[in-house]
Amino acid sequence: METENRIEPPVTPPRRRSSLARKFGIAIVGVTVILIGIPLIPLIGPGWLIVFTGLAILATEFEWARRLRDRVRSRFRDFMGKQDRA
């Protein structure tokens, strides 16, 4: 028996491209969650948390939402750091 010593090239999975339907669905869900959260902001409850959740949903698919989420996250961390020192 002869063993074959073939070197197989590494198999890379194909890049996952977002379809137009997926982007549209993510946009609808993210915007809907944000719109639900906005009226809850002045009320007692998790209004801001719901808005940020909607932004996180949008950030899974859109670069502009990812940048906005990162900016809001860094400002929140800066704010919380300043509160700890006081």
**Residue closest to 47 by CA, chosen among 59, 65, 61, 33:** 33
> What is the residue whose two structure tokens read 């993510």?
26
Average pLDDT over residues 10-24: 76
- Examine residue 13 and state whether it is found in any structural domain, yes or no: no
Model confidence pLDDT, tens digit, residues 38-83? 999 998 789 989 999 999 999 999 999 999 999 998 998 888 887 6
Average pLDDT over residues 11-17: 67
- Examine residue 26 and state whether it is found in any structural domain, yes or no: yes
- Examine residue 12 and state whether it is found in any structural domain, yes or no: no
Query: How many domains does the chain divide into?
Result: 1
- Examine residue 11 and state whether it is found in any structural domain, yes or no: no
Read off the pTM.
0.69
- Examine residue 34 and state whether it is found in any structural domain, yes or no: yes
Residues 6+ apart with CB under 8 A from 56: 69
Q: Give CA–CA dist 21/46, Å, rounded.
A: 30
- Examine residue 1 and state whether it is found in any structural domain, yes or no: no
Parent domain of 50: 20-80
pLDDT category, 17, cuts 50, 70, 90? low
CB-CB contact of 65 with 29 (8 Å): no
Residues 6+ apart with CB under 8 A from 86: none
